[in-house]
Amino acid sequence: MAPRRGDGPEAAGIAVVIAAKDEEARVGRTVAAARALPGVDLIVVVDDGSADRTSEVALEAGARVLRHSRNRGKGAAMETGAEGVRLIEEHEEGADGIRPARHLLFLDADLESTAAGAAPLLEPVAEGKADMAIALFPATRLRLGGQGFVVRLARGGVRRATGWEPEQPLNGQRCITRAAFEAARPLAPGFGVETGLTIDVLRAGLRVVEVEVPLEHRATGTDLRAQLHRAHQFVDVLRALTTRELRPTVRRALSGARDRAPGRRRG
């Protein structure tokens, strides 16, 4: 029987969830690097309909693997991963009590060895100072400067919906409490998931911070395939924003909201 964790938020542990499609060349190194992060004791890779050896490589690297028989999109893969963590935790429960639910750390499959730099992203959540921490990539800040049309769409949409403007609204590297994740379900489909998640967590009156971390993933190019990817992103983000404009905003009491206001943290 696995040892029981303590009762505080810092004792909850971290489960890494990695959505992957056709990432056999990178996912193994990403899993290996994530395993070294403090507090991480579970890694779940969701193979979202890959046609290569993504599942096999992830297993060899030490991850638990869940597989979609067809590509269902990033939002669905994240939900599958979180549900997989919950089921694993149910199996781990001992006769002496129930473990606190692990916090969730979502990472992209192509981070490779840089995933080891995600530790500052865990700290505000593990210490109970934030309900969700979103990564800021230094290299992206220099290269993009926020001028991408999809970034502008997401950033402006989050600002209009919540009053807070994130710097990197599409960044998928996020640490989140289970309570915050559940408050945001169902997740927006596809590439709208990050935008929808930020809006839903903030509308629930929870705390969101951005943390600079030394992570880096494969940059999107400028060829036709890259342009089609951005067009797909644009449609998914627009759908997430449109859906949330039709939902009522649910906030806690004003005094509580002030205490838990979103902010920006530098690692």
Q: Domains of the chain (ranges plus CATH)?
A: 9-265 (3.90.550.10)
The pLDDT of 78-82, averaged and rounded, is 98
List, for residues 43-59, the tens digit of each pLDDT value. 999 999 999 999 999 99
pLDDT of residue 3: 34
Between 120 and 138, name the one with better pLDDT.
120
What are residue 84's phi and psi, to 5 degrees? -60, -40
Question: What is the C-alpha separation between 113 and 99, in angstroms, rounded?
Answer: 30
pLDDT of residue 261: 46
Are 64 and 88 a contacting pair, CB within 8 Å? yes
The pLDDT of 116-136, averaged and rounded, is 96
Length of the chain: 267
- Please choose, from the candidates 194, 141, 153, the residue with its C-alpha nearest in 3D space to the C-alpha of residue 172: 194
pLDDT interval class at 141 (50, 70, 90): low
